[in-house]
Chains A and B, each alone.
Chain A
């Protein structure tokens, strides 16, 4: 109960009462257990036949490690099918009841594979007493038997030519894991239905290209994803927005990336750090006219830094090769906005001929109080 929620229909009773059988309130749920995603059914019902109350519990159980390891010995073609029928039992959507494996499937699995476990000193799972499962099949309505063509390996596994299943991440890793080396054959990304990262052998799924998350080294899967015009800039999600919209205080990219990193500090020259704003992707100094201390706080906060800041107004002659200016717009105090860039405009003269220079402090972190001394 500390890690899972109970279905709504059970909220009238104490959800953590162990005497309150969850079997009475469980419903069909989609299979999420990675091992068993290739079954001829998609819905399961808990608790399962090994006593696990949730799929999460099943996924980290001893049995969910044991069965796939055992499959690799090739002891029984339908072992993984059997394992999944007890780890994620099929759910009948009409009755919300579990459909168990047939007794013959259980007996065959145990008969062929139990002895192999014995060799390495392990025991067949105690909860799999085959007599609890029905003998009668009746077209897979009462109990389950596998079809001829059932897949032995889970989707996260690769099936060796020999029939053994090995973890998919071990395929093409330069080391043979199948006894026939078949996991190291046809290792091109294309042959595996994947995309090869430029300048590296890494393969990624096609859905990961241009999705806004870099997956290849150097983020190569996120390059050349958009073709913006000259007067446009590319958002992080590869949309195009007009250049003039960049850092104007209004959100234009769907992912809001046009308003990220709009405030920064210039490089440290002669120990002065000038406040910079990146309107239309051009860097501007900020004119000191009408500047107030609370604006320094805002600028530091936007850069992820703390306060209290030290503000200096630096005359223009001290920074001869300065960038362009941005000024506070008139009546900026009345503007309801949360970013500094929204308060600034270009094209006005800077009467004070001074630029804003800031020193922000980094918020303190990671310190533990010193241990108290006690006389012994």
Chain B
């Protein structure tokens, strides 16, 4: 995260880290149910074998495992069948864990939006992750507040890419607060009434975040995929 701040442990209990040896943390991910995690499809490019991945929950400092940490292996990776690597469209995937997580105050699922629920432009939401900070990779989870930007406005920043309805833009023209390499797959959450946090985006792509080219970040629009997510979880739980 660029322009963010270090997060307090346990503040984002749905944030998880998708890890693979020998590199360790590769992408962010989001806990949506005891056995299910969302992330983006591009995290698995060239590494689609579930056996090489593990998912770490309840962690704040990647370098210091905490007593609240839980680790699960990956049982299944479900990539969106329309994921297009060349244009980074339909960038979403579902991960089935090998065992349920134990729900604690440090490991809890986030709410998913309903099919019709959209986040309005100019809403302020939060992004989190262990991605690049512009000058270094952090050990501690970072958080940043970003503003939702309309698709039309967002398209103006990306002359060379088509912003589709499967995407959601958030950030600032100046790029002051933005997601960056290593944040991919992590959450963009907005607070809803009664203090519930709902997942509206997954960090997907943007301009080179620490270069001269600035602009908002582009997130996978979770509302667009709700039906697909529900179907896949149902199929893998009851029909396979």
Q: Of A30-38, A184-192, A282-290, A308-316, which stretch is located at the interface?
A: A30-38
Chain A residues with Cβ below 8 Å from B189 are: 366
Q: Answer whether residue B207 sits at the interface, using C-beta atoms and an 8 A cutoff.
A: yes
Identity of the chain B residue whose Cβ is nearest the Cβ of A302 in the assembled complex: B238
Q: Answer whether residue B160 sits at the interface, using C-beta atoms and an 8 A cutoff.
A: yes
| Count of chain A residues near B, Cβ 8 A | 44
Q: Answer whether residue A213 sits at the interface, using C-beta atoms and an 8 A cutoff.
A: yes
Q: Answer whether residue B197 sits at the interface, using C-beta atoms and an 8 A cutoff.
A: yes
Identity of the chain B residue whose Cβ is nearest the Cβ of A341 in the assembled complex: B238
Identity of the chain B residue whose Cβ is nearest the Cβ of A236 in the assembled complex: B231
Q: Answer whether residue A3 sits at the interface, using C-beta atoms and an 8 A cutoff.
A: yes
Chain A residues with Cβ below 8 Å from B14 are: 366
Bound-state Cα–Cα, A32 to B87, Å? 9
Contact A2 B181 (CB under 8 A): yes
Bound-state Cα–Cα, A260 to B232, Å? 10
Of residues 121 to 154 in B, which have CB atoms within 8 Å of A's CB atoms?
Answer: none
Chain A residues with Cβ below 8 Å from B23 are: 1-2, 16
Also in contact, A2 and B155, with CB within 8 A (given A259-B239, A366-B198): no
Bound-state Cα–Cα, A156 to B230, Å? 32
Chain A residues with Cβ below 8 Å from B108 are: 364-365, 367-368
* Chain B at the A interface: SS class: loop
Of residues 10 to 59 in A, which have CB atoms within 8 Å of B's CB atoms?
Answer: 14-16, 32-35, 37, 56, 59
Chain B residues with Cβ below 8 Å from A338 are: 237-239
- Proximity bits, B193-215, A CB within 8 Å = 1, else 0: 00111100000011110011100
The size class of the interface chain B forms with chain A is 35 or more
Chain B residues with Cβ below 8 Å from A15 are: 22
Also in contact, A260 and B231, with CB within 8 A (given A2-B26, A37-B86, A338-B238): yes
Contact A34 B86 (CB under 8 A): yes
Partner of B197, one of A4, A56, A64, A368: A368
Bound-state Cα–Cα, A301 to B205, Å? 35
Also in contact, A365 and B238, with CB within 8 A (given A61-B208, A65-B207, A260-B231): no
Q: Answer whether residue B182 sits at the interface, using C-beta atoms and an 8 A cutoff.
A: yes
Contact B206 A60 (CB under 8 A): yes
Contact B207 A366 (CB under 8 A): no
Contact A363 B87 (CB under 8 A): no
Q: Answer whether residue B45 sits at the interface, using C-beta atoms and an 8 A cutoff.
A: yes
- Proximity bits, A193-233, B CB within 8 Å = 1, else 0: 00000000000000000000100000000000000000000
Q: Answer whether residue B47 sits at the interface, using C-beta atoms and an 8 A cutoff.
A: yes
Contact A167 B195 (CB under 8 A): no
Chain A residues with Cβ below 8 Å from B111 are: 365-366
Bound-state Cα–Cα, A56 to B195, Å? 38
Q: Answer whether residue A317 sits at the interface, using C-beta atoms and an 8 A cutoff.
A: no
Instruction: Provide a sorted-by-A list of 5 A–B residue pairs whose CB atoms are within 8 angstroms.
Output: A5-B45, A68-B159, A259-B238, A339-B238, A367-B197
* B positions within 8 Å CB-CB of A: 8, 10-14, 22-23, 25-26, 32-33, 42, 45-47, 82, 85-88, 105-106, 108-112, 155, 159-163, 181-182, 184, 189, 192, 195-198, 205-208, 211-213, 230-231, 233-235, 237-239
* A positions within 8 Å CB-CB of B: 1-5, 14-16, 32-35, 37, 56, 59-62, 64-65, 68-69, 156, 167-169, 213, 251, 256, 259-260, 301-302, 304, 338-339, 363-369, 371
List the 5 shortest-distance A-B pairs measured between CB atoms, nearest first: A5-B46, A366-B111, A366-B196, A369-B105, A365-B111
